[in-house]
Amino acid sequence: MKTNSFLVVMPAFNEEKNIGRVLRPLKEEKLPVLVVDDGSTDKTAWAASCEGALLLILPRNRGKSAAVKEATRFDVDKVVLLDADLTGFTRGHAAQIKNWVNSYDCARIMLKGGRTATTWSHIISPALAGQRILPMAVLKRFYESSSVSGFQLEVALEDYLKKERLKQEELVLEGVGQVMKEEKRGFWPGLRARLRMYLDILSYKLRGRPTI
């Protein structure tokens, strides 16, 4: 089996309380990780550095799309996009990812059985899954041909992969969920953040995807 060079890319905004438990299993499996601190106002960068992750700190919050774009400066075969707020993520899951990256060129990673809300959101809207495996060359071409911003990354990636007729495998991390925005920020601030996310996605859909 061919061994690919790869980088786990983890965009993070104010994830001081969550990021360590995701980074630790990756560190135990010796996976190379880049954390892009997207202008956090808490100790996200400190928490990431404690786990030995490579760290890029953006001076202001620019959104997930801009944070992930920072990874395109690295010369690797593939990238694994992983969120910083996962729950139930273990060394076994990290080992799965290590195996998958050498077996699949392009994959959407679904979360199942960790938290009910996460499981159902992935069943209802699989295109919004934030965990992916992609060739770096594809990610670079995506950013060269698109002008996505904020929370539009996942839906724009889905459209791009379909346009390029790139087949995605659908893989599952059993027992893994995500922390809801309402839990991280408090109910009303979290709900406002969720509504902003949906409006961002709606804005992308309504403009007819002109840049993909």
Q: Is residue 93 part of a domain?
A: yes
Per-residue pLDDT tens over the stretch 52-78: 999 999 999 999 999 999 999 999 999
Q: Is residue 28 part of a domain?
A: yes
Q: Which residue has the tokens 């979290």?
A: 190
Per-residue pLDDT tens over the stretch 93-139: 999 999 999 999 999 999 998 778 777 777 777 777 889 999 999 99
Burial tier of 140 (Cβ tally within 10 Å: 0-12, 13-18, 19+): middle
Residue 200 pairs in a beta bridge with none
Q: Is residue 205 part of a domain?
A: no
Residue 191 identity (one-letter amino acid): L
Domain CATH code at residue 174: 3.90.550.10
Q: Is residue 198 part of a domain?
A: no
Residue 77 CB contacts under 8 Å (≥ 6 apart), including other chains: 4, 5, 6, 135, 136
Distance between CA atoms of residues 163 and 41, nearest Å: 38
Q: Is residue 191 part of a domain?
A: no
Q: Which structure tokens are listed for 38?
A: 């997207």
Q: Is residue 146 part of a domain?
A: yes
On whether the pTM is more than 0.85, the answer is: yes
Q: Is residue 199 part of a domain?
A: no
Domain span holding position 62? 6-179
Based on the structure, what is the number of domains in the chain? Answer: 1
